[in-house]
């Protein structure tokens, strides 16, 4: 596979794409907790984001001053073209695997 | 937006996060954390939120968030390499100037070692009697007799006092008596020892004082008559390897003492010292003594009281005084008692006489004196170090110049010299340890000062390292300030002229050192002359060529006459007398009533018991009447007074007066001139001389001068043939008298030693200063030489400055010497005066030593070829 993407990284990257231009550490943490019902620490989300940034899948920019959180700015993340292709690639790989499953196997569930 | 009060997240967590987190991520992550915190506080409460906040902060530590030095653009200096370079340069400089460096290191080491040695001595002296668990509540009861002419302080009290206190006074838990048992024979089987250093002690003694027992029960060991408690050493001496518990020691061949306890070796810092304790009920008043244990006038017992925890010593003392006065009343004398706290007994008993045997007393002024000397020596050593380091660094102008040109800021050069100074200080500390290690035996044997083993210094290491560091910084501060101030151009040209202010400062240091040296030199002279004065003062009797032989009471009773006759047959023996005391501070005393006076109107008189030849033997002068004579058998109830006693009792015609004294009506037959039967610390007390009514313990033998050892062997062979087994225990009277001044002797030798060291140190500093100033005057010397100056003239020019400094120091030192000298001499009732020659002698001594020191440099400078120093210009 051209772009190595871990399971957790993939989730984070999907959410960055979903919350386009409004994704930051805490929002993604909350989304994971709410949408996936999965307990996650903020630091691991941040770590994943920085790792993705290193790999070039996301880009970050610092937003404007806020009135909450002591006036501290937010670091927003946006998915890059490379990130998109990594997501697509990963999705296609999965689809390919899905397609390999004989139909009766799923029907019997 | 509406502003609301938001509880702030944990401040320290924020600080910690900011400390570790890199700048790029810090703000945004912290924002997320705060946002999360505010939400959590509403949902889960502040406590959980704060806890989670901390956990999150800790979780965020990872490779993305941590600060990385490389990424910052700021320049970071490489401190370790710089300090390594400083150390290297330090070592190179020391190696290059070996003689200077060793003078410097050695000088400071001597200062540090002296200081440490004195510190240990003082600490030992201050730690006396602190090992008793109840030491706060233990007091010694002493008594004072106040007369119109002055007060007499007696450490020992009458035997009835302790039971009186126990029965009548509340607020006292326990009270014990202690009675010194004179020399007796103690035997186990056929091993016989003549033993002193033994006390009779009440049963509670071991419950008041914490002298530890190895075996036996401290609460019952001294309960019964004929019980004895011995130290471990004595156990070995008497019983070898056997277990002494329950065994018997025979006392004076007639009583059996049962060993009921074995003591651990006594701590060396106990003011009471003993080898054995015998239960007080064993004590029998010796035959012939006129008092019994109910006496209120026989001051021969120590009384120690353990007060209840919250008792008020003052009110208890008032009660004891009332009790005392209810039982005895002396004419013209007010008797009061004093409760002396245990911890102040060792150092605070200077005013007491009648202290008794086996009780040790220290001297507070010795301790203060030595502490001051220690500090002075350290100051001298530090100043020296400053002067020498500055002189030593002058040749380093080029180095400093180069450093400055290469960008060293002033602060860095200061740092460099501080590092050097600290390094040299630590070298000195090591040398100081070596000095202490090698001087231990000297201090033990010559000065009686026990220094602890090196292992005991471990607990001091942090203190020492800290102190050395501070000394290093302080003494390095001056040279570093001077040297870092040079302009690089001047420094590179090697043209290091120091300003006038610097010279004044260094001269000031020098004067200070000289003042201290002068004080110590004068101090040594004063102490030595006072000791000489004490040694040579005519005490009212001849102390030369008198031997004193210790005789057991029973031997005295049996053999005195035959011994005396046999001794007197030798041509070398001039006189023989018996006596119970020998001018070394010991005395007995008792109440004296003028015939017809009321029973309770008594004068307290010290007394000697002696026989006929005493007056001839000692050369004491008779003022009136006659001395005891064999022609008057009635002299056994006669008495002789000294002038002080006559004055005290106000006798117009002393001879013939009848006085009730020592349970007999005695008539005064003579008056002797006052003589010093106590040490010169105290005034002469009223005293009486009577014929022996008990068996005394001393024989005094006056011998002809010359070939004493032959005389001694003659006497010893006589002794063997008459007395037999008992040891022949002979000493010189003079030595006994000398022992009263042991403290002063010790102080004298310590002060002598340390003032010699201080003078040497000051001269080392002087040498440094001279080098410094001569170096900067070389060109001047060259020009003077070229213009025809003579060698003598040059030496004058070069030395003048230092002679002026020494004269100045003399001006400052003399008033101090006057003040401090009189302060110390105030300890003596009989003392020398500070004469002018003491000041002049110390000043001259210092001047000569200083001139010799500087001559090396000045002569060298004056002999330099002027071409060498002038060709550069």
What are the structural domain ranges in chain A?
7-107
pLDDT of residue B447: 67
Tell me: pLDDT of B452 over 80: no
Same domain, yes or no: B714 and B662: yes
Cβ-nearest to A73 among B27, B36, B38: B27
Q: Is residue B287 part of a domain?
A: yes
- Pair B152, B293 in one domain: yes
SS3 per residue for B608-648: EEECCCHHHHHCCCEEEECCCCCCCHHHHHEEEEEHHHHHH
The per-residue pLDDT for B357 is 78
Nearest CB among A51, A62, A68 relative to B35 is that of A68
How much is the pLDDT for A24? Answer: 92
Whether the per-residue pLDDT at A52 is higher than 60: the answer is yes
So what's the pLDDT on residue B227? 93
Name the residue facing A69 among B1, B35, B62 (closest C-beta): B35
CB atoms within 10 A of CB B225: 14
Tell me which H or E stretch contains B176: strand B172-181
Which has the higher per-residue pLDDT, B216 or B387?
Answer: B216
Give Cβ neighbours of residue B377 (< 8 Å, ≥ 6 apart). Answer: B110, B111, B114, B115, B754, B757, B758, B761
Q: Is residue B113 part of a domain?
A: no
B126 belongs to a structural domain: no
Check CB contact under 8 Å for B34 and A69. Answer: yes
Greater confidence, B491 or B218?
A: B218
Q: Give yes or no: residues B34 and B165 share one domain.
A: no
Backbone angles phi, psi at A13, to 5 degrees: -65, -40
Query: Cβ separation of B60 and A43 shorter than 8 Å?
Result: yes
Report the candidate in B842, B681, B840, B670 with the shortest Cα–Cα distance to residue B756. Answer: B842
Query: B495-520, pLDDT tens digit by residue?
Result: 555 555 567 777 888 888 888 888 88
What is the pLDDT at residue B492? 74
pLDDT of residue B206: 92
Instruction: Determine contact, residues A46/A25, Cβ cutoff 8 Å.
Output: yes
Q: pLDDT confidence of A72, banded at 50, 70, 90?
A: confident
For residue B431, give the nearest of B762, B768, B94, B96 by alpha carbon: B94
Tokens of B399: 């180095």
Chain B residue with CA closest to A51: the answer is B64
Which of B28, B42, B53 is the best substitution to test chain A (most A C-beta atoms within 10 A)? B28
Q: To probe the interface with B, which of A48, A55, A72 has the most B CB atoms within 10 Å?
A: A72
Q: Does residue B79 sit within a domain?
A: no
Exposure string over B679-718, b if 16+ CB within 10 A, otherwise e: bbbbebbbbbbbbbbbbbbbbbbbbeeeeeeebbebbeeb
Please compute the mean of the pLDDT values over residues B764-772 and round it to a whole number.
75
**Cβ pair A50:B64 closer than 8 A:** yes
pLDDT above 90 covers a percentage of chain B that reads 13
Question: Do the chains contact at B29 and A25, CB–CB below 8 Å?
Answer: yes
Residue numbers in A near B31 (CB within 8 A): 66, 69-70, 72-74
Residues of A in contact with B25 (CB under 8 A): 50, 75
Most A CBs within 10 Å, among B64, B66, B68, to test the A interface:
B64
For chain A, the straight-line distance linking the first and the last C-alpha, in angstroms and rounded, comes to 31
Residue B2 has pLDDT above 50, yes or no: no
Q: At what angle do helices B410-447 and B742-776 cross, to 10 degrees?
A: 150
Q: Note the pLDDT tens digit of each residue in B385-415.
A: 887 777 777 677 778 888 888 888 888 888 8
What is the rounded distance in angstroms from the CA atom of residue B690 to the CA atom of residue B669?
10
B25–A42 C-beta distance less than 8 A: no
C-alpha torsion sign, points B214, B217, B223, B224: negative
Confidence band, pLDDT 50/70/90 cuts, at residue B3: very low
Residue whose tokens read 């340069």? B89
**Token pair belonging to B265:** 């070796």
Task: Note whether A43 contacts B59, CB cutoff 8 Å.
Answer: yes
List of chain A residues whose C-beta atoms are within 8 Å of the C-beta of residue B32: 24-26, 42, 46, 69, 74
Chain A interface includes B38 (CB < 8 A): yes
Best CA proximity match to B871, nearest among B739, B783, B762, B772: B783
Given a cut of 60, whether residue B873 has pLDDT beyond it is: no
Whether B573 and B517 share a structural domain: no
The answer to whether residue B126 scores a pLDDT higher than 70 is yes
Q: How far apart are CA B115 and CA B381, in angstroms?
A: 10
For range B88-109, the mean pLDDT: 85
* Strand-pair partners of B255: B251
B62 contacts A47 by C-beta, under 8 angstroms? yes
- Model ipTM? 0.88
Task: Say if residue B299's pLDDT is above 50.
Answer: yes
Evaluated on CA atoms B489, B495, B499, B502, the torsion sign reads positive
User: Is the minimum CB–CB distance between B33 and chain A shorter than 8 Å?
Assistant: yes
Average pLDDT over residues B708-724: 86
**B32, A69: Cβ pair inside 8 Å?**
yes
Residue pointed to by tokens 């040296």: B517
B563 and B436 in a common domain: no
Residue A73: which of B31, B33, B60 has the nearest Cβ?
B31
DSSP string, B301-367: BEEEEEE-TT--HHHHHHHHHHHHHHH--BTTBEEEEEEEEGGGTTTS-TTEE---TTB----HHHH
Residue ending a domain, choose from B31, B56, B71: B71
pLDDT band for B74, please (50, 70, 90 cuts).
low
Q: Is the per-residue pLDDT at B705 higher than 90?
A: no
Residue B309 lies in a domain: yes
- Give the pLDDT confidence score for residue B1 in this predicted structure: 40
> Which residues form the domain of B426?
364-534+744-870
Q: Please check the confidence at residue B187 and state whether its pLDDT lies above 50.
A: yes
- Residue of A70, A71, A73, A77 to mutate, testing the B interface (most B Cβ within 10 Å of its Cβ): A70
Mean pLDDT of B27-52: 87
- B554 pLDDT more than 80: no
Q: Which of B69-83, B233-247, B377-391 has the highest mean pLDDT?
A: B233-247
B243 and B339 share a domain? yes
CB contact under 8 A, A69 and B64: no
* CB-based contact, B7 to chain A, within 8 Å: no
Full 3-state SS string of B129-158 = CCCCCCHHHEEEEEEEEEECCEEEEECCEC
Residue B746: C-alpha distances to residues B445, B447, B739 (Å): 12, 6, 11
- Tokens 């008092």 correspond to B291
pLDDT in tens, B668-686: 999 999 988 887 777 788 8
Phi, psi of A76 (to 5 degrees): -90, 145
Nearest Cβ partner for B29 among A29, A46, A66: A46
Mean pLDDT of chain B: 83
Asked if B187 contacts B253 with a C-beta cutoff of 8 angstroms, the reply is yes
pLDDT of the residue at B272: 92
Residue A17 has pLDDT above 90, yes or no: yes
Q: What is the pLDDT of residues B597-607, one digit of tens each?
A: 766 667 778 88
Place of tokens 């070939």: B707
| Chain-chain contact of B31 with A72 (C-beta, under 8 angstroms) | yes
B359-364: average pLDDT:
82
Position B612 in a domain: yes
- The CATH number that domain A7-107 falls under is 1.10.10.10
Which of B9, B18, B27 is the best substitution to test chain A (most A C-beta atoms within 10 A)? B27
Residue B461 to residues B107, B109, B665, Cα–Cα distance (Å): 21, 16, 69
The reply to whether B285 falls in a domain is yes
Q: Is residue B717 part of a domain?
A: yes
Per-residue tokens: B815: 């008033």
B80 interfacial to chain A (CB closer than 8 Å): no
Confirm if B579 and B617 have CB atoms less than 8 A apart: no
Q: Are B247 and B259 in contact (CB under 8 A)?
A: yes
Q: Residue B248 pLDDT more than 80?
A: yes
**Is B283 an interface residue toward A (CB < 8 Å)?**
no
Is residue B721 predicted with pLDDT exceeding 80? yes
For residue B352, pLDDT over 90 is answered with: no
Domain boundary among B328, B353, B378: B353
How is residue B707 written in tokens? 């070939």
Do both B374 and B281 map to the same domain?
no
State the smallest CA–CA distance between residue A12 and chain B in angstroms: 16
In whole angstroms, give the CA distance from residue A29 to residue B29: 13
Compute the residue count for chain A: 109
pLDDT at A11 over 90: yes
Per the structure block, which two tokens stand in for B843? 């000043």
Give the residue from A69, A71, A73, A75 with the most B CB atoms within 10 Å of its CB, the best one to mutate.
A69
Residue A28 has pLDDT above 50, yes or no: yes
Does the pLDDT of residue B872 top 80, yes or no?
no
In total, the C-beta contacts within 8 angstroms joining chain A to chain B are: 57
φ/ψ of B354, rounded to 5, equals 55, 40
Q: Number of folded domains in chain B?
A: 4
B43 inside 8 A of chain A by CB: no
Chain B residues touching residue A75 (CB < 8 angstroms) = 25, 28
- A28 contacts in B (CB within 8 Å)? none
Count other Cβ atoms within 10 Å, centred on residue B208.
Answer: 22
Q: Which residues of B touch A69 (CB under 8 A)?
A: 31-32, 34-35, 38
Q: How large is the C-alpha radius of gyration of chain B? A: 38
Q: With DSSP H G I counted as helix, E B as strand and the rest as coil, what are the percentages for chain A, rounded to 5?
A: 60, 10, 30
């Amino acid at each position: 596979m051209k772009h190595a993407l871990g399971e957790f990284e993939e989730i984070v990257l999907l959410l960055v794409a979903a919350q386009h231009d409004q994704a930051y550490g805490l929002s993604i943490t909350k989304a994971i907790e709410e949408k996936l019902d999965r307990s996650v620490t903020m630091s691991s989300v941040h770590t994943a984001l920085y790792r993705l940034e290193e790999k070039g899948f996301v880009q970050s920019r610092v937003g404007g001053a806020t009135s909450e959180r002591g006036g501290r700015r937010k670091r927003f993340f946006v998915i890059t073209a490379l990130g998109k292709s990594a997501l697509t690639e990963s999705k296609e790989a999965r689809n390919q695997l899905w397609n390999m499953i004989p139909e009766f196997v799923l029907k019997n569930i | 937006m509406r502003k609301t009060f938001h509880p702030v997240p944990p401040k320290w967590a924020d600080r910690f996060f900011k400390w570790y987190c890199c700048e790029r991520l810090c703000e945004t992550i912290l924002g997320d954390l705060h946002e999360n915190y505010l939400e959590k506080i509403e949902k889960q409460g502040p406590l959980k939120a704060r806890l989670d906040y901390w956990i999150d902060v800790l979780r965020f530590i990872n490779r993305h968030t941590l600060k990385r030095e490389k990424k910052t653009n700021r320049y970071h200096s490489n401190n370790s390499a710089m300090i390594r370079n400083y150390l290297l340069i330090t070592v190179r400089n020391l190696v290059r100037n070996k003689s200077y460096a060793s003078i410097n290191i050695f000088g400071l080491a001597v200062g540090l070692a002296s200081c440490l040695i004195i510190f240990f001595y003082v600490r030992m002296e201050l730690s006396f009697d602190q090992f008793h668990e109840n030491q706060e509540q233990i007091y010694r009861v002493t008594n004072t007799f106040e007369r119109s002419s002055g007060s007499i302080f007696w450490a020992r009290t009458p035997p009835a006092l302790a039971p009186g206190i126990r029965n009548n006074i509340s607020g006292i838990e326990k009270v014990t008596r202690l009675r010194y048992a004179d020399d007796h024979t103690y035997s186990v089987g056929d091993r016989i020892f003549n033993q002193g250093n033994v006390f009779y002690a009440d049963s509670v003694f071991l419950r008041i004082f914490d002298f530890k027992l190895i075996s036996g029960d401290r609460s019952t060991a001294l309960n019964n008559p004929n019980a004895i408690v011995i130290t471990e050493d004595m156990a070995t001496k008497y019983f070898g390897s056997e277990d002494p518990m329950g065994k018997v020691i025979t006392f004076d061949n007639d009583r059996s003492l049962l060993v009921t306890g074995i003591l651990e070796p006594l701590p060396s810092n106990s003011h009471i010292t003993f080898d054995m304790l015998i239960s007080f009920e064993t004590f029998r008043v010796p035959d012939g003594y006129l008092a019994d244990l109910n006496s209120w006038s026989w001051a021969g017992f120590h009384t120690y009281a353990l007060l209840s925890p919250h008792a008020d010593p003052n009110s208890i003392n008032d009660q004891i005084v009332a009790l005392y006065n209810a039982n005895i009343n002396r004419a013209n004398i007010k008797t009061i008692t004093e409760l002396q706290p245990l911890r102040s007994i060792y150092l605070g008993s200077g005013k007491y006489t009648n202290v008794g045997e086996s009780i040790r007393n220290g001297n507070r002024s010795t301790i203060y004196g030595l502490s001051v000397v220690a500090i002075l020596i350290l100051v001298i050593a530090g100043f020296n170090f400053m002067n020498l380091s500055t002189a030593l660094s002058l040749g380093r102008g080029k180095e400093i110049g180069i450093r400055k040109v290469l960008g060293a800021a002033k602060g860095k050069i200061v740092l460099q010299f501080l590092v050097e100074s600290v390094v040299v200080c630590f070298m000195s500390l090591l040398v100081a340890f070596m000095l202490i290690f090698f001087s231990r035996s000297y201090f033990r044997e010559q000065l009686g000062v026990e220094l602890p083993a090196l292992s005991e210094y471990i607990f001091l290491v942090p203190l020492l390292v800290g102190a050395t560091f501070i000394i290093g910084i302080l003494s390095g501060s001056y040279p570093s300030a001077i040297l870092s101030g040079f302009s690089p151009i001047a420094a590179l040209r090697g043209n290091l002229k120091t300003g006038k202010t610097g010279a004044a400062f260094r001269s000031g240091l020098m004067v200070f050192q000289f003042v201290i040296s002068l004080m110590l030199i004068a101090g040594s002279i004063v102490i030595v002359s006072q000791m000489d004065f004490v040694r040579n003062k005519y005490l009212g009797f001849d102390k030369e060529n008198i031997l004193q032989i210790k005789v057991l009471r029973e031997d005295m009773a049996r053999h005195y006459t035959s011994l005396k006759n046999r001794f007197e047959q030798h041509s070398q023996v001039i006189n023989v007398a018996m006596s119970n005391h020998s001018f070394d501070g010991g005395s007995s005393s008792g109440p004296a009533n003028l015939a017809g006076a009321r029973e309770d109107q008594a004068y307290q008189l010290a007394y000697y018991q002696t026989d006929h030849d005493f007056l001839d033997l000692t050369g004491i002068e008779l003022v009136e009447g006659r001395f005891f004579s064999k022609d008057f058998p009635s002299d056994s109830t006669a008495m002789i007074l000294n002038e002080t006693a006559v004055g005290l009792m106000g006798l117009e015609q002393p001879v013939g007066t009848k006085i009730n004294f020592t349970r007999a009506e005695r008539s005064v037959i003579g008056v002797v001139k006052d003589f010093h039967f106590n040490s010169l610390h105290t005034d002469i007390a009223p005293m009486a001389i009577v014929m022996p009514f008990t068996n005394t313990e001393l024989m005094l033998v006056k011998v002809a001068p010359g070939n004493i050892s032959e005389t001694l062997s003659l006497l010893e062979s006589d002794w063997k043939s008459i007395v037999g087994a008992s040891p022949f225990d002979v000493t010189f009277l003079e030595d006994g008298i000398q022992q009263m001044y042991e403290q002063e002797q010790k102080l004298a030798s310590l002060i002598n030693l340390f003032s010699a060291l201080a003078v040497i140190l000051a001269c080392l500093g002087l040498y440094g200063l001279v080098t410094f100033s001569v170096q900067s005057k070389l060109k001047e010397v060259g020009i003077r030489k070229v213009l025809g100056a003579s060698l003598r003239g040059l030496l004058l020019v070069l030395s003048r400055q230092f002679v002026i400094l020494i004269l100045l120091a003399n001006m400052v030192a003399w008033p101090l010497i006057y003040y401090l000298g009189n302060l110390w001499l105030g300890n003596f009732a009989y003392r020398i005066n500070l004469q002018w020659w003491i000041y002049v002698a110390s000043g001259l001594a210092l001047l000569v030593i200083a001139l010799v020191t500087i001559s090396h440099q000045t002569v060298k400078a004056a002999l330099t070829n002027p071409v060498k120093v002038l060709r550069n210009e």
